[in-house]
């Protein structure tokens, strides 16, 4: 792209690719990688929506909740994004506990992580559908 910043279409297209790649990692039980890719898809769509709503480039370093507010998303989607960010700090604490946990605790954490990944997957899909609908 020769140094140009990605436009709305580029961001949505890249988000769809992130979503597809994340699904493959999720199917392979590589949940951390899948989670990161779902986050990337969500952030790219949010950036595209901010561009569509404000006609300006979003800040390079902004939280997903800030981007959701700027994108003027429906309340239920914004609330889901805010709770996703709140969960991120909980996950960091849980991952520290895993280092000293027994096998049973680790199995529960695996189920919990899978549940989080599924939530991110659903959110990413909803955001991409929403973005494509308002295009």
pLDDT tens by residue, 31-86 = 989 999 999 999 999 999 999 888 888 888 889 999 999 999 988 888 888 888 76
The CA R_g of the chain, rounded to the nearest whole Å, is: 16
DSSP codes, 35-74: HHHHHHHHHHHHHHHHHHHHSSPPPSS--HHHHHHHHT--
* pLDDT the model gives residue 96: 45
pTM of the model: 0.79
Domain count, the chain: 1
**Is 114 within the bounds of a domain?**
yes
**Is 89 within the bounds of a domain?**
yes
> Helix 31-54 crosses helix 64-71 at what angle (to 10 degrees)?
30
**Is 80 within the bounds of a domain?**
yes
Domain of residue 88: give its range.
Answer: 8-134
* pLDDT the model gives residue 3: 42
* pLDDT the model gives residue 5: 56
**Is 112 within the bounds of a domain?**
yes
* pLDDT the model gives residue 33: 92
Which residue in 55, 19, 11, 16 sits closest to 35, CA to CA? 19
Tokens describing residue 86: 């709140």
CATH number of the domain bearing residue 100: 1.20.120.330
Residue 51, Cα to own-chain centre: how many angstroms? 18
List pLDDT tens digits, range 106-120: 454 467 788 888 999
């Amino acid at each position: 792209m020769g140094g140009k910043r990605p436009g709305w279409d580029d961001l949505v297209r890249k988000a769809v690719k992130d979503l597809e790649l994340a699904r493959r990692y999720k199917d392979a039980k590589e949940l951390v990688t899948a989670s990161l890719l779902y986050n990337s898809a969500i952030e790219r769509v949010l950036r595209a929506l901010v561009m569509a709503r404000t006609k300006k480039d979003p800040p390079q370093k902004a939280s997903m909740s800030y981007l959701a507010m700027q994108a003027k998303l429906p309340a239920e989607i914004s609330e889901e994004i805010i709770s996703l960010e709140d969960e991120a700090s909980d996950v960091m604490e849980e991952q520290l506990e895993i280092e000293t946990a027994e096998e049973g605790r680790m199995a529960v954490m695996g189920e919990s992580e899978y549940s989080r990944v599924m939530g991110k997957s659903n959110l990413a899909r909803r955001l991409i559908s929403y973005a494509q609908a308002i295009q």
